[in-house]
């Protein structure tokens, strides 16, 4: 009887191992196949496009596609500006959301639940529904009418500058800030209150307790929020297009890279746009996309272990 039960359990374990392996391999293929395909295309020579024997592995490996795209996109300048924008908003958003999350987790005040419900509401409401008032707010930026007193009733136009990103990040209203506040709030709620009480007995104030005790122990939540904030800002098109007209950042460059490359090729060849090879343009666009996500892949490789541990400890799922 015992032997029969062991055989059943062994069979179940084998089946479950097979199903789990199948799911992992399938998901890995879905995620990695587009990147592998872009790598294959990026290293192909122009002659390999029309060679039916070339599928994934190029016959003529070349770096000309990377060189051409880097020069056409002005890649280094775009890379620096993108890092500046994404890194700046990442730091400001992390600080603001950590303070807000700590306040919701540790302090009891009237209307706390209502305010936190509004924070959750910012996660659920699509940003497109408040696009017009958000744009008007930063086009005629005024603080309680104070600026208008010195500007003949008009606010300051912040459109076309980085100030909308700075202000929204500092005030905890940046990209996905509601989710980040929720992450910090859930993380700080798991801290023993005795730690804060001991710090209070030693004479530490609220901010000293937060910066010297709570924040150093919140490294998993900080890493999670910083990575999410950086990546989402790097890939953001909605707010970047709305606030920055002609900014040379990666997400906006990718929107026009196809037309830019086609125009560049037609100018160099002396022909019209209609004479440009669309397959060659598609190859260069794939190369530009690979260059755009390359910094994110390198960043993930360096912080992969810390990121996985952070997600496990903060309970972020989905």
Is position 239 within any domain?
Answer: yes
Give the list of residues 6+ apart from residue 97 with CB closer than 8 angstroms, or none: 172, 177, 180, 181, 183, 184, 225
Domain with 125 in it? 74-248
pLDDT in tens, the chain (318 residues): 555 555 667 777 788 888 888 888 888 888 888 888 888 888 888 888 887 777 778 888 888 888 888 888 888 888 999 999 999 999 999 999 999 999 898 888 888 889 888 888 888 888 888 888 888 888 888 776 666 656 666 778 888 888 999 999 998 888 888 889 998 998 888 887 887 778 788 777 788 888 888 888 888 888 889 988 999 999 888 888 888 877 788 888 888 887 777 777 777 766 555 567 778 888 888 888 888 888 888 888 887 776 666 666 655 544
Domain harbouring 135, CATH code: 1.10.3720.10
Is position 112 within any domain?
Answer: yes
Is position 254 within any domain?
Answer: no
What are phi and psi for residue 141, nearest 5 degrees?
Answer: -70, 125
Structure tokens of 174? 């940046």
Is position 97 within any domain?
Answer: yes
The total number of structural domains that make up the chain = 1
Q: CA quadruple 203, 206, 212, 217: dihedral positive or negative?
A: positive
Q: How many Å apart are CA 312 and CA 183, to the nearest integer?
A: 12
Q: Is the pTM of this model over 0.85?
A: no
What are the helix (H) ranges across the chain? 2-42, 64-73, 75-106, 112-124, 131-139, 146-150, 163-170, 177-189, 193-201, 206-209, 219-235, 238-243, 250-269, 278-314
Tokens 């076309």 belong to residue: 160
Tokens 């500007």 belong to residue: 151
Is position 235 within any domain?
Answer: yes
Can you name the residues that pair with 109 across neighbouring β-strands? none
Q: 248 near 112, Cβ under 8 Å?
A: no
Which of 303-309's residues contact partners 24+ apart within 8 Å by CB, and which partners?
A: 303/223, 303/227, 306/223, 307/223, 307/224, 307/227, 309/220
Q: What is the pLDDT of residue 36?
A: 86
Q: What is the pLDDT of residue 317?
A: 43
Q: What is the pLDDT of residue 318?
A: 41
Q: 115 near 185, Cβ under 8 Å?
A: no
Is position 117 within any domain?
Answer: yes
Q: What is the pLDDT of residue 108?
A: 84
Is position 290 within any domain?
Answer: no
Q: What is the pLDDT of residue 129?
A: 87
Secondary structure (DSSP) of 97-122: HHHHHHHHHH---TTHHHHHHHHHHH
List C-alpha distances in Å: 310 to 180, 228, 305: 13, 12, 9
């Amino acid at each position: 009887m015992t032997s029969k039960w062991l055989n059943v359990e062994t069979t179940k374990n084998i089946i479950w191992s097979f199903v789990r392996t199948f799911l992992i391999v399938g998901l890995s293929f879905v995620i990695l196949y587009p990147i592998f395909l872009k790598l294959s295309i990026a290293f192909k020579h122009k002659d390999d496009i029309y060679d039916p024997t070339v599928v994934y592995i190029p016959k003529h490996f070349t770096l000309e596609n990377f060189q051409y795209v880097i020069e056409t996109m002005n890649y280094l300048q775009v890379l620096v500006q993108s890092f500046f924008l994404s890194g700046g908003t990442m730091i400001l958003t992390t600080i603001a959301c950590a303070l807000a999350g700590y306040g919701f987790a540790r302090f009891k005040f009237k209307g706390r639940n209502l305010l936190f419900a509004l924070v959750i509401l910012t996660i659920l409401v699509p940003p497109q529904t408040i696009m017009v008032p958000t744009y008007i707010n930063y086009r005629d930026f005024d603080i309680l009418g104070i600026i208008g007193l010195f500007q003949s009733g008009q606010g300051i136009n912040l459109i076309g500058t980085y100030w909308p990103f700075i202000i929204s990040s500092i005030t905890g209203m940046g990209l996905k800030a509601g989710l980040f506040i929720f992450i910090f709030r859930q993380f700080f709620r798991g801290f023993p209150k005795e730690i804060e009480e001991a710090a209070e007995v030693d004479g530490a104030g609220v901010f000293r307790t937060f910066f010297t005790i709570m924040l150093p122990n919140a490294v998993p939540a900080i890493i999670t929020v910083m990575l999410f904030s950086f990546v989402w800002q790097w890939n953001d098109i909605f707010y970047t297009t709305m606030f920055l007209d002609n900014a040379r950042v990666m997400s906006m460059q990718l929107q026009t890279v196809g037309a830019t490359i086609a125009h560049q090729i037609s100018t160099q060849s002396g022909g019209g746009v209609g004479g440009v090879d669309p397959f060659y343009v598609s190859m260069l666009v794939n190369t530009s996309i690979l260059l755009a996500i390359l910094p994110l892949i390198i960043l993930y490789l360096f912080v992969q272990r810390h990121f996985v541990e952070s997600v496990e400890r903060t309970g972020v799922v989905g």
